[in-house]
Amino acid sequence: MKNSRRLFLKSACALVVGASGYTVAQGPLGEAQQTTKKYALIHDETKCIGCDACSVACREVNNVPEGVTRLRIERKGPYGEYPEQYFRFTRHSCQHCEDTPCVKVCPTGAAYKDEATGIVSVDAWKCVGCQYCIAACPYQVRFINPVTKAADKCDFCKETRLKEGKLPACVSACPTQALTFGDLQDPDSQVVQVLKHTPNYRTKTELGTRPKLFRIGSQDGEVRL
Ligand code: SF4
Ligand code: SF4
Ligand code: SF4
């Protein structure tokens, strides 16, 4: 009985591979999927105007000290010829990898992936500041917090906002709706819908990290001079 139900769920669950190569659930969810989430973020570079409201909000909400940052918007350009010049903006923050080099090297268990949410976090109490995780992260998004002396990075505002049912601070602060946050396990979530219908990409996928920060690539750039 159990086996036939499992078989039914298996055949009923269609899987869709988006342009970024990520597989997202579509259709009825299996039992294990109903109890766990897999949070992801999309940065739509075509909507980003490089205003930095996201990184300012992140710093304020998460008490990130000056001199370090959990989130940076990188500006490239200008491209093109005057007066048709434009900039491109990309997001630099933790990618919440499915396969986590930072977690693998941590000797104390301070770096961990929360199985209930898929969010990669740091337990500051367990961190001894060895910096192995900083060296192992291919995206170079970790740092030692000068106040806590522990490794630090984006955690999708797990403790400061998600717990209260709020969106990450960056998502709420963005004036152009360039950021979409949600659960990849929920086929009806906005994040899944956007990924299914919009060409997107992720960085350094060749390393097998399976990042959950997706990007909608800018074409002509967004801010014209
Ligand atoms: S981006 Fe770096 S810190 Fe974030 S989960 Fe991946 S390896 Fe770890
Ligand atoms: S700095 Fe902290 S989180 Fe990073 S590997 Fe060392 S103990 Fe683990
Ligand atoms: S707040 Fe939105 S528009 Fe402004 S830099 Fe961040 S992602 Fe881009």
Burial class (CB in 10 A: 0-12, 13-18, 19+), 89: buried
What does the pLDDT look like over 211-221, one tens digit per residue? 999 999 986 54
Is residue 117 one of the residues assigned to a domain? Answer: yes
Distance in angstroms (rounded) separating the CA atoms of residues 33 and 27: 12
How many domains does the chain divide into? 1
Using a CB cutoff of 8 Å and minimum separation of 24, what contacts does 57-62 make?
57/169, 57/170, 57/172, 57/173, 58/154, 58/157, 58/168, 58/169, 58/170, 60/169, 61/157, 61/160, 61/161, 61/169, 62/157, 62/160, 62/169
What does the pLDDT look like over 165-218, one tens digit per residue? 999 999 999 999 999 999 999 999 999 999 999 999 999 999 999 999 999 998
Q: Model confidence at 32, in pLDDT bands (50, 70, 90)?
A: very low
Q: Can you give the CATH number for the domain in which 133 is found?
A: 3.30.70.20
Distance 175 CA to ligand 3 centre (A): 7
55 has pLDDT over 70: yes
What does the pLDDT look like over 134-170, one tens digit per residue? 999 999 999 999 999 999 999 999 999 999 999 999 9
Residues with CB under 6 A from ligand 1: 94-97, 100-102, 120, 137, 139, 141-142, 153, 209
Is residue 93 one of the residues assigned to a domain? Answer: yes
Is residue 177 one of the residues assigned to a domain? Answer: yes
Q: Which atom of ligand 3 is nearest to the CA of 50?
A: 5
Question: Does ligand 3 have an atom closer than 6 angstroms to the CB of 54?
Answer: yes
Give me the helices (H) in 82-189, please: 101-105, 132-136, 169-173
CB 218 within 8 A of CB 204: no
Is residue 121 one of the residues assigned to a domain? Answer: yes
